[in-house]
Amino acid sequence: MKINNFGMTCSILAIFVTLAACQSTATSYKSSEAWKLERKSKASLNKLLQSNKDARNLQKNATAILVFPSILKAGFGFGAQAGNGTLMMKGRTVAYYNSSAASYGFQAGIQGFGYALFFMDGNSLSYLRKSSGFELGMGPSLVVVNKGFGKNMTSTTLRKGIYAFVFDQKGIMGGAGIQGTKITKFNP
């Protein structure tokens, strides 16, 4: 009778060890995906900061920066775009977000691009964190930064809202629009 209890105990112990190993593998996979996304986001942000003086100036006063290193957009009449990114504060990743949008109208092609959102105040960042689906162009003010932006930059104009930079555009589809894009938090 003791052998059966011992055998049962060993079987239960083996099940727990197997479950623990599976949990460990799932956690390391999850961490691996998060790590890859963080690495891509940081590299994209560094590239943007090196190549764009306006982005460097905004970074100095930004509360947080949300970076989407790779958005894929495709369409023929109807279109869709999607990608994942990281929210960084003081150089550290604090959350993960998904960016997605749908569109219709005259469009055909495929395009890749990235974008970064510079949150300049606590209210804008709070809006992102509290909303179940943050839509660009709704809520806090959004300024899409273009080449002529630097001429209008002052310490007072850089205090409110969100500033967006679109970068690394590749493909055969016209303009990379981010207005109307929905951003939702996720756990990789």
Cα angle value 167/148/84 (rounded, 5°):
20
Number of folded domains that form the chain: 1
Is 108 part of any domain?
Answer: yes
Q: Is residue 12 part of a domain?
A: no
Dump pLDDT digits (tens) for 17-65.
Answer: 444 444 444 444 557 899 999 999 999 999 999 999 999 999 999 999 9
Pairing of strands 162-171, 142-144: parallel
- Residue 145 vs residues 6, 13, 92, 95: alpha-carbon distances, Å: 69, 59, 24, 24
DSSP 29: H
**Tokens (6 digits) for 39:** 């690495």
Q: Is residue 173 scored above 80 in pLDDT? A: no
If you average pLDDT over every residue of the chain, what do you get? 78
Is the per-residue pLDDT at 6 higher than 50? Answer: yes
102 in any annotated domain? yes
Percent of the chain with pLDDT over 70: 70
Q: What is the mean pLDDT of residues 164-171?
A: 89
Q: What is the pLDDT of residue 36?
A: 95
Is the model's pLDDT at 108 over the cut of 80? no
> Quick check: 142 pLDDT over 80?
no
pTM of the entire predicted model: 0.75
Question: Does residue 80 sit within a domain?
Answer: yes
Q: What is the pLDDT of residue 30?
A: 52
Instruction: Tell me which residue range forms the domain holding 61.
Output: 45-186
Question: Residue 94 domain-assigned?
Answer: yes
Within-domain flag for 15: no
